[in-house]
Structures are given as C-alpha cells and as structure tokens.
Amino acid sequence: MISLADAERAAATLLEPAHYDFFAGGADDERTLRSNVDAFDRHRLLPRVLRGVGKRDLGVEVLGQPLSMPVMVAPTAFHRLAHPDGEVGTARAAAASGTVMILSMAATQPVEQVAATGVRLWFQMYVQPDRAFTERLVRRVEAAGCAALVVSVDSPVFGRRLRDLRHDFGDLPAGLACENMRESGTGPPRAVAFDAALDWSVVGWLRGITTLPIVLKGILHPDDARLAVGHGADAVIVSNHGGRQLDGAVASIDALPAVVEAVGGRLPVLLDGGVRRGTDVVTALALGAAAVAVGRPVLWGLTVAGEHGVRQVLELLRDDLDRAMVLCGADRVAALTRDVVHVGRCSW
C-alpha cells in the first residue's frame, strides 16, 4: 500500500460488494462525490523556493488540542463492517498518529470502549427528535471523556443512495448494532433518526445542556457560516457529507474560501471531502482550513489491515503532506499562505 488509491483497490477486493458500495457510494448520480476529488484536481500549487525548509513542523492546534498533523479522522458509520477491530482499531491508530478521531453516532462499538483507547475523541451526533434521549447521550459522551460535540447539520433527511437500494442494503448484519443508540448500554438500539424540523435554535439548546465545544458539520454557504458564528458555535466543518446527502452540492474545497472569509478568523474552519493527497491538505490549509478530516481512506485502511491499516493510511498522508510542504517551501502550516494555491492559468 503506497497510496490511498491502493488502499481502496485492496478494500474493494476484500469487502462484500454491498458493504464496499455502502462505504464508497454517494447520493443519487454521485456528482458531488466525484466533484470533491475533481475539484482538488483543478487546483494547482505555486511553490516557493530557497526557503530553508530543512526542518518541518506539521503540528496544529484545534479547539485547544494539539494535533501532530492537520489531518483528523472524519466520522463514518459501521467500522465493524470493515474489520473486526472496528472503531477501537481506528481509535488506536488515530491515537498512535497523534490526531483526533471523530466518532460517529452510528458506531458499532460503544463510546466508552473507544474512549478507553486513550484517543482524543470528538463525538458526532444527529440531534434526535427525542431531545430527552439526545440529552442523555450528551451526558454519556461527556462522561466518556469526549472533548467536543460534532453536530451534523446537513442531514434533515437521509440522502438517496442508489447503490444501497440496488443491494437492498438497509440493516446491519446480525451481531452488529449502533452501540451508542442503546438507552442504557444494554437495551435494544434505537434507529438513528433524521429531523427535518431542526433549526438554528438547536445550537442554543445544545449550549444550554453542555459546556463541550460545539462543532457544526456540513456548512457550505457563507451565510450559514456567519449564522454559526452568531449562534455561538465553536468551529465549523465545510463538508457535503462526502457526497452522500445533497447530490449537486458544491465540492468542499470550492466552498471553503467563501466560508473562511465569512468567518473572518472568529472560529476554526475545518474541511472534509475528497482529501486523498498531501497536496490536497496543502491546498485546504492554504485556503484557510485549520485542519482537514478524511472519511473513506480510513475505512479502506481498516478493511485491509484493521488498526495497522488505518495507521498506514494516516502515516502515508503525513509523509505525503510533509513532502508537499517542503516542495512548496513551507516549514510549518502557518507558512502555507493563499498565494501558494492557483486555479486556472497563470496570468504572466
């Protein structure tokens, strides 16, 4: 495995087709899924030379937490479909790589077990119509030691994923369940519900029940980024849910600059969607992201070799990022300024 593309190819041969398609697929015609990657392809870098970059520091701080590199693990469902190591394996790898794992509400292992690995954990949730249940879940993730709440705001309904419909993939196989949807850790799991009635008041409601930082995931429009600031969010993630929700939504990297401008440094802007190369990370950072998160590549690594495979994927990205930074003449993340990114033709 010498690139993330290798990891996907290997995973495709190992997974049952229905499970591979659940991980790989997007909504409807998968235009946004493709755009996330294609849009990075449209960006080019204008490297600087002779900058004395013999020693590099890839570290960043996000929400007061030091990361060894600006690459985090995005929340993805059902890790035990990929490998028996499950979310615990992913967590161990993220911890070993010195980064944050965002644990999905649809994880197949309980948050307490994942947190016990010692990883720095943020918890992703869909606010449930049953607010009393949601509040109990918030207490549970607080008690487990999660350091932030990541609220997905791009899912008022579930996207229509044709690959899943064709495979008739709906339920988890016997023995697997959404462990954080069990009422007391032992009861039957509730189904994850999507609530189209949610509005901006949910941020104030969450603020009223928890002191954890609140991260809004799935912001694309600059006006929504301003509203996030105004409602007291602590960070936003520019994301189209990996092309799994609104097909036709703009690519994440194309939405980033306007969001960064709207936020004006008042809170950190993170990004996910289509990050596959060190140069993609460089592009996002230079356009103002504080860090990026990767979804599918982590699942491919997990499929191929469990915890070890995720570690390999994260270290491949670190190595790739380090080389991209040196070649751009940057010895630290702050040295990646906007002028390093170029779209279209040079005008001189």
Ligand X SMILES: CC(C)CC(=O)C(=O)O
Q: What is the dihedral of CA 200, 205, 208, 210, to 10 degrees?
A: -100
CB of 253 to ligand X, least distance (A): 19
CB of 106 to ligand X, least distance (A): 4
Nearer to ligand X, 77 or 256 (CB): 77
Nearer to ligand FMN, 181 or 335 (CB): 181
Look-up of token digits 């070649």: 327
Which entry of 19, 43, 79, 241 is annotated as an active-site residue?
Answer: 241
Interacting residues toward ligand FMN by CB under 6 A: 22-23, 36, 74-77, 104, 106, 124, 152, 217, 239, 241-242, 244, 272-275, 294-296
CB of 192 to ligand X, least distance (A): 5
**Start-to-end C-alpha separation, the chain:** 40
**Total residues found in the chain within this entry:** 348
Alpha-carbon distance 310 to 76, whole Å? 13
CA nearest 300: which of 72, 94, 90, 63? 90
Nearer to ligand FMN, 83 or 217 (CB): 217
CB of 286 to ligand FMN, least distance (A): 19
Nearer to ligand FMN, 321 or 335 (CB): 321
> Phi and psi of 152, rounded to 5°?
-80, 120
Alpha-carbon distance 145 to 103, whole Å? 12
CA nearest 200: which of 153, 159, 246, 150? 153
83 annotated active-site = no
CB of 75 to ligand X, least distance (A): 8
Interacting residues toward ligand X by CB under 6 A: 77, 106, 192, 241, 244
Nearer to ligand X, 244 or 311 (CB): 244
Out of ligand FMN, ligand X, none, what residue 70 binds, judged by CB under 5 to 8 A for its kind, is: none
Alpha-carbon distance 58 to 348, whole Å? 32
* CA-to-CA separations, 346 to 257, 280, 285, 339, 341, in angstroms, rounded: 19, 20, 21, 12, 11
Out of ligand FMN, ligand X, none, what residue 119 binds, judged by CB under 5 to 8 A for its kind, is: none
Collapse the DSSP code of 251 into the 3-class scheme (helix H, G, I; strand E, B; otherwise coil) and give the result.
Answer: coil
Alpha-carbon distance 321 to 324, whole Å? 5
Out of ligand FMN, ligand X, none, what residue 295 binds, judged by CB under 5 to 8 A for its kind, is: ligand FMN
Out of ligand FMN, ligand X, none, what residue 277 binds, judged by CB under 5 to 8 A for its kind, is: none
What residues are annotated to the active site? 241
